[in-house]
Amino acid sequence: MYNTKVRGELIEGNKTLADVTSDILRPIEAPAPTWWFVAMALSSLAVLWGVYSMYLTVAYGIGMWNLNNSVGWGWDIINFVWWIGIGHAGTAFSIFLLILRQKWRTSINRAAEAMTVFAVICAGMFPALHMGRIWDAFFIFPYPNTRGPLWVNFNSPLFWDFTAISTYLTISASFWYLGMLPDFGTIRDRTTSKVRKALYGFFAMGWTGSSRQWQRYEAMAFVLGGMAALLVVSVHSIVSTDFAASVEPGWHTTIFPPYFVVGAIFSGFAMVMTLMIIIRKFYKLHAYITDSHLNATAKILTFVSLIMGTAYLTEIFIAWYSGGKFEIFTFFHNRITGDYAPQFWTMFICNAIIPQLFWFKKVRSNLGMLFIISIIINIGMWFERYNIIVTSLAKDYLPSSWATYSPSIVEVGVFVGTIGIFSTGVLLFFRYIPMMAIHELKTVVNPADKGDHNQFVN
Amino acid sequence: MNSERYIGVFDNEEFFEKAVQTLKDAKIDIEELYMPVPVHHAIKNITGSSRLPVFAYILGWTAVISIFSFLYYTTVISWPLNIGGKPSAAYPSFVIVTLVLTILTVTIISLIVFTIKAKLYPGKPALVFDNRALDDKFLIVLTNQKTPDAGAILRQNGANEIIVKTL
């Protein structure tokens, strides 16, 4: 069994290779538990409400939303940035821990990558819906066209965003699927059901675990990992330029790219923690998601929370230090005090104060507390985006253009719908895809290969 | 051509790795290895290193040059209908699209090359010698044509079982 001096056993209970296969495939091979059907029904209801709200948005236009001339971005862009932030951590988790040779990632990376794919799909819906005329979405593709021809504006952060998000989705999904090939092959060879054999066999793409396949697989994982690492840092930096490249007070700051990347990693890691606890508790996979895994994730969250707190304080300091009266107004009279103080303080307390409870070992080893704080962080991160977007737009340079904003029921419906899409995706993932990368866990159980397994393993 | 395959089944990764090394040293032609986890020393003995990372690196630079040239063409040269002004040739802003599209191009083309080289495609029937090969067993496959005493050699090298299959 693989041991580290810092974390002890990464898989508890002296498991054999065969044990790993049967433990991880048990949720797929056994009938679905009752709670799964209940959760699926609730998620489907949320999806239905979301689809109806999206229908209203597309059929009647974005007049169905409560946006106005001043607050032109509301829940749509808040939710877009929130989802893309959550989606950010899956690949970040997988890649950074791979680069840092952290073997404890093997229990978690598959679920984190799944989370990425579903979250990015949810994120992508908001800019598409916000276009209003979604059927003209192809205008954004750079191709020789009959409209002039006019090329898209490659200097625009909004176009950078489009390329970054679509690339991120493609790469995350490819990375996730590539990692599943050996596991689909394992299910195909193990199952006695003809339907499963045919289905998983189709998706396994003829995987047999031959030396030639493994050699190319590892080389491909190496290339994809390198590409994804670059992308992880660039995607949320690019999302931040949607704001930072404008002149709105509170947006036009150079701290935005690192601030957004760290914030994204923060919310994504919190969501990974939520999923880890659900998997551990409901599927009884204590041997694979150990206290040590949760402890390590909580420590990362504590550290990132400190960075978030520093970023918030830096923004406030720079607003004061610059002496710009619009910046001072935005931060001191519109966020810290003023109309949007509740949203600001919710953000600050949820993201910078409450996660500091993880300094206490008792909190880090309490599953209930871990779960609650992981949810609180994501609530705080949602308010961070609200704080950035709505406060700056609602009260900018001209008091005559000041406006208030609250979402319409259709906007709420679209958001609830994306939560439904995300949870439906995650539930289907729990049911039909191995929640952990079986072949990677086996490298932790049986590291006879002189520690070389961590060379290129996806 | 039909021939008998001798499949040595190993329970233990270390014995498997040693057996591959011994067979290689004895210049015995191993047809293929099958394993549930990649055993790097054994894999290198059979296949050598992959050239995919080198290919991806060259592809990456080709993509950088092509995409930057494309951006230059579309933003600086080709802008025939000028309504509301032409975007300025702001080279720093090309960097972001160049980086992201390079990553996209390298990924997609590398994936296509990977599936071609590894001979993988959706729905491909798998040639499975033993259903346990992706669970907990390590297999060495020899052919009777090239290695007359294949069964005995595998047994001597620590195989727990020998399976004979005719293809």
Cβ atoms of A267 and A211 closer than 8 Å: no
| pLDDT at position A103 over 90 | no
Q: What does pLDDT average to over chain A?
A: 89
Going by C-alpha positions, the residue among A83, A25, A13 that lies closest to residue A283 is A25
Mean pLDDT value of segment A3-9:
61
Q: Which residue has the higher pLDDT, B151 or A387?
A: A387
pLDDT digits (tens, 9 = 90+) for A173-221: 998 999 999 999 999 999 989 999 999 999 999 999 999 999 999 899 8
Going by C-alpha positions, the residue among A184, A185, A178 that lies closest to residue B52 is A178
Task: Look at the block and give the residue holding tokens 């498991």.
Answer: A15
Q: What pLDDT was estimated at residue A49?
A: 97
Task: Look at the block and give the residue holding tokens 């985006």.
Answer: A385
Q: CA of A442, closest CA in chain B: separation in Å?
A: 7
Report the complex ipTM.
0.91
Is B126 in Cβ contact with A216 (below 8 Å)? no
Q: What pLDDT was estimated at residue A6?
A: 60
Q: What pLDDT was estimated at residue A63?
A: 92
Task: Look at the block and give the residue holding tokens 């107004």.
Answer: A329
Contacts of A203 in chain B (CB under 8 A): 122
Mean pLDDT value of segment A10-17:
82
Mean pLDDT value of segment A61-71:
92
Tell me which of B9, B14, B86, B107 to substitute to probe the interface with A (most A C-beta atoms closer than 10 Å). Answer: B107
Is B135 in Cβ contact with A18 (below 8 Å)? yes
Mean pLDDT value of segment A295-305:
93
| pLDDT at position A308 over 60 | yes
Cβ atoms of A183 and A200 closer than 8 Å: no
Cβ atoms of A2 and A10 closer than 8 Å: yes
Q: What pLDDT was estimated at residue A152?
A: 82
Using alpha carbons, list the distances in angstroms from residue B64 to A161, A162, B60, B87, B121.
19, 19, 6, 21, 29
Give percent of chain A with pLDDT exceeding 90.
64
pLDDT digits (tens, 9 = 90+) for B102-131: 999 999 999 999 999 989 999 999 888 888
**Element counts in chain A: helices (H) and strands (E):** 15, 2
Mean pLDDT value of segment A310-317:
94
Contacts of A158 in chain B (CB under 8 A): none
Which of A50-64, A104-118, A346-360 shows the lowest per-residue confidence on average (mean pLDDT)?
Answer: A104-118
Mean pLDDT value of segment A135-160:
80
Q: What pLDDT was estimated at residue A307?
A: 95
Torsion (CA) A246, A249, A252, A253 in degrees, nearest 10:
-170
Is B52 in Cβ contact with A223 (below 8 Å)? yes
Cβ atoms of B94 and A174 closer than 8 Å: no
pLDDT digits (tens, 9 = 90+) for B13-67: 888 888 888 888 888 888 889 999 998 888 888 887 888 999 999 999 999 999 9
Contacts of A201 in chain B (CB under 8 A): 123, 125-126
Q: Using pLDDT thresholds of 50, 70 and 90, give the confidence band for residue A310.
A: very high
| pLDDT at position A417 over 80 | yes
Give percent of chain A with pLDDT exceeding 70.
95
Q: CA of B143, closest CA in chain A: separation in Å?
A: 16
Beta strands in B11-111 (DSSP E): 32-34
Look up the pTM and report it: 0.90
pLDDT digits (tens, 9 = 90+) for A420-449: 999 999 999 999 999 999 998 888 886 544
The CA distance from A200 to A14, in Å, is 29
Mean pLDDT value of segment A1-12:
64
Mean pLDDT value of segment A54-73:
93
Q: Which residue has the higher pLDDT, A46 or B78?
A: A46
Tell me which of B17, B95, B100 to substitute to probe the interface with A (most A C-beta atoms closer than 10 Å). Answer: B100
Q: CA of A242, closest CA in chain B: separation in Å?
A: 13
Q: CA of B34, closest CA in chain A: separation in Å?
A: 4
Q: What pLDDT was estimated at residue A450?
A: 43
pLDDT digits (tens, 9 = 90+) for A317-338: 999 999 989 999 999 999 999 8
pLDDT digits (tens, 9 = 90+) for B78-106: 776 667 777 677 788 889 999 999 999 99
Which of A247-251, A273-277, B91-95, B143-147 shows the lowest per-residue confidence on average (mean pLDDT)?
Answer: B143-147
Mean pLDDT value of segment A356-373:
94
Is B33 in Cβ contact with A149 (below 8 Å)? no
Q: Using pLDDT thresholds of 50, 70 and 90, give the confidence band for residue A452.
A: very low
| pLDDT at position A128 over 50 | yes
Q: What pLDDT was estimated at residue A451?
A: 43
Distance of CA B75 to the CA centre of its chain: 39
